[in-house]
Amino acid sequence: MLIKTSSDIPSSQITSESIYFNRRTFIKGSALTIGALTPKLSMAEQATTVALDYKPAAKEQESGFYTDEPLTPLDDVINYSNFYEFGTDKSDPARYADNMTTDPWSIKIEGEVDKPGEYHLEDILAKVDLEERIYRLRCVEAWSMVVPWVGFSLADLLKQFNPTSKAKYVQFETLHRPKEMRGQQSRFSTIDWPYQEGLRIDEAMHPLTIMAVGLYGKTLPNANGAPIRLVVPWKYGFKSIKSIVKIRLLEKQPTTTWQTLAPHEYGFYANVNPDVDHPRWSQKSERRLPTTFFSPNRMLTTPFNGYAEQVASLYTGMDLSKYY
Ligand code: MTE
- Structure confidence at residue 6 (pLDDT): 35
Cα(239) to centroid(ligand 1), Å: 8
> With 80 as the cut, is the pLDDT of residue 33 above it?
no
Strands (E) in the chain, as ranges, are 33-34, 50-51, 106-111, 117-120, 131-138, 143-153, 169-174, 196-200, 210-215, 218-219, 229-231, 244-250, 285-288, 298-300
Any atom of ligand 1 within 6 Å of the Cβ of 83: yes
DSSP, collapsed to helix, strand or coil, labels residue 133 as strand
Averaged pLDDT for residues 287-297: 94
Mutate to test the pocket of ligand 1, among 238, 257, 305 (most ligand atoms within 8 A of CB): 238
Tell me how crowded residue 85 is: count the other CB atoms within 10 A of its CB: 29
Higher pLDDT, 92 or 13: 92
- Structure confidence at residue 60 (pLDDT): 87
Higher pLDDT, 241 or 5: 241
Confidence class of residue 108 from pLDDT cuts 50, 70 and 90? very high
> With 80 as the cut, is the pLDDT of residue 14 above it?
no
Strands (E) in 57-142, as ranges, are 106-111, 117-120, 131-138
pLDDT, tens digit, for every residue of 64-94?
999 999 999 999 999 999 999 999 999 999 9
Nearest ligand 1 atom to alpha carbon 224? 23
Distance CA 19, CA 123 (A): 26
Cα(217) to centroid(ligand 1), Å: 20
Cα(240) to centroid(ligand 1), Å: 6
Averaged pLDDT for residues 238-264: 98
Residue 211 and residue 151 in contact, taking contact as beta carbons nearer than 8 Å: yes
Superfamily in which the 57-315 domain is placed by CATH: Oxidoreductase, molybdopterin-binding domain (3.90.420.10)
Distance CA 261, CA 4 (A): 13
- Structure confidence at residue 71 (pLDDT): 98
Entry field: residues in the chain: 324
Confidence class of residue 22 from pLDDT cuts 50, 70 and 90? very low
Confidence class of residue 2 from pLDDT cuts 50, 70 and 90? low
Cα(82) to centroid(ligand 1), Å: 5
Nearest ligand 1 atom to alpha carbon 236? 16
Averaged pLDDT for residues 120-145: 98
Any atom of ligand 1 within 6 Å of the Cβ of 82: yes
Averaged pLDDT for residues 243-262: 98
Averaged pLDDT for residues 99-127: 97
Cα(210) to centroid(ligand 1), Å: 15
* CB neighbour class for 42 (10 Å; exposed up to 12, middle 13-18, buried from 19): exposed
Delimit the domains of the chain by residue range: 57-315
Across the chain, mean pLDDT equals: 88
Upstream peptide bond of 221 is cis (omega within 30 degrees of 0): no
Higher pLDDT, 18 or 69: 69
